[in-house]
Each structure stands twice: as C-alpha cells, then as structure tokens.
Amino acid sequence: MKKNPVKVALRAGEPQVGTWLSFGDLTATRLLARVGFPWLTIDLEHSPIDWNQAAMLIGAIADAGCVPLVRVPEGRHDHIKRVLDAGAHGIIVPMVNTVEQAKVAIAAAKYPPQGNRSVGGATHALNFDATAGDYYKYANDEILVILQTESPEGVDNAEEIYALEGVDAIFVGPNDLRAQMRTPDGTDPTVEEFEAMLARIVATGKKTGTPVGLHVQTVDDVNQRVAEGWQFIALGSDLKMLVTQAQELISGLNPSEEASDLARY
C-alpha cells in the first residue's frame, strides 16, 4: 500500500504547499495534479461539487501521483466516511471548536479499535494501489486528519484539541477566523489582534508538536508564514488563479478597468 508522503513530510517538520479546488472540473484538476503541488484539496464545504464529481477528482489526483484531500462540509461521520470510501487520502474538517467535535471527526476517520469508521467501498483501495485487505489494515496509518481552527473558541481549546491522538495537522481559514473575531457591533479585528491570534495557534502547535497551516494568496505570504512556523499551507485555489490571471490580462488591455472583488479564495 502506498505511503502518504504529505503525512510523512509534516511529521518530519517539512512545509507542504498545495492548493484548493473549487470548480470540480476534471480536466483542470488533472492538470493541476501534475504541476508539482504535493497535495490538492477538493472543497465540499463552499463549492457546488457533488459526491460523484468528488470521487472522480479524487481518483484523478491519486492517479497523477498527487495526494487528494477533501474538505468535508461538516465534521459528521457520514461526510467523512463517504469521502474516505471514495479514496481521499485525508480530510480537512471545518469549524472544530471543541474537543468533542474533534474526537467525533477523528473517530470517523479511523477503523476500529482506534475509531468507528465502518468497513465498505472499493475505490479507497484503488487510490492507494492496494488490495482491500491491505487498505483496511493500513488505512489508519496513512489517512491524514486535519482539523480547522476558525474561531476564538477553537483557539481557547486549541491545546487540548491539538494534543489529541489522531490529529495530524491544524488548518486556519483566515476569513472565517476574522469573521468569528468580530465584536458584537460587527467591527473586524485589527491586523495586530488577528496576528496575535495566529501567533497563539503557532505557539500551541509547537507546544503540542502538531503542524499548523493556513490559507494564503502569494508566494511571499508562503515564505513569511513558513518562517513563522506554519507547515500545511494552501496557496490560492483554481478559482482564484483563474480570476486573478484573467483580471491581470484585462488590466493590461484596459488599465482603467478596476478589478472586481470576485473571489477571495
């Protein structure tokens, strides 16, 4: 059975920079899986990608030698089970604010006795170049479990969450964290307040030995965050890449054309 190289690298302290998939387009995914990203994440939380599309994308990414990850809509057992049975090499679980939520997600990703994932499916083994028997035997070792810290509550509970057995990495969605940090009157946090919150996450990751990561938009951002201690980093998305490149072309043709705020990620 194939090893999960992203899981191995994160354990070794090596940064892993991938990108996000929002379109659900098979051809675009096949190309992105071959440009050099070690992992690609299919976003089922904020995109219209359906389960069958996701399964096709997962297989295409795996066949290209890239690691297919899926952000599930929510940390429910059925969501996690379905993407893993479709062959994902790992999950990203949004809005994990409490230890109990974290335990539910971890258990859903692990076969007994470590968890309560049920046995079934076929494409999971195909995507690891394994027999069904070997998949059931070794999946717990290779599946990557990444939990998202996206709120002050999640940061307050971070040390206990990050220290749980089965947590392979933590991921921050900056937009959601900023939104969750708003005051009751809707005021956004200052840059200093936001960076202080991120610093708490990095410090907790170092204390517990858990890799932490976040979403950024430029290579300069990647370099800055890696220097700060972040490891699992998402650089843009297929959606953001297309919109940004198109806007740059339009700006070259018509410098007076102001770029619209069409895509944050």
**What is the C-alpha to C-alpha distance for residues 17 and 219, in angstroms, rounded to an integer?**
10
Which structure tokens are listed for 108?
A: 């859903």
Cis peptide before 113 (omega within 30 of 0): yes
Question: First-to-last CA distance in the chain?
Answer: 34
CA distances from 132 to 18, 95, 174 (A): 28, 32, 38
Catalytic residue check, 79: no
Beta-strand relationship, 144-148 and 90-93 = parallel
Contact indicator for 175, 151 with CB cutoff of 8 Å: no
Which structure tokens are listed for 136?
A: 């059931």
Catalytic-labelled residue, pool 46, 89, 124, 215:
46
Q: List residues with catalytic annotation.
A: 46
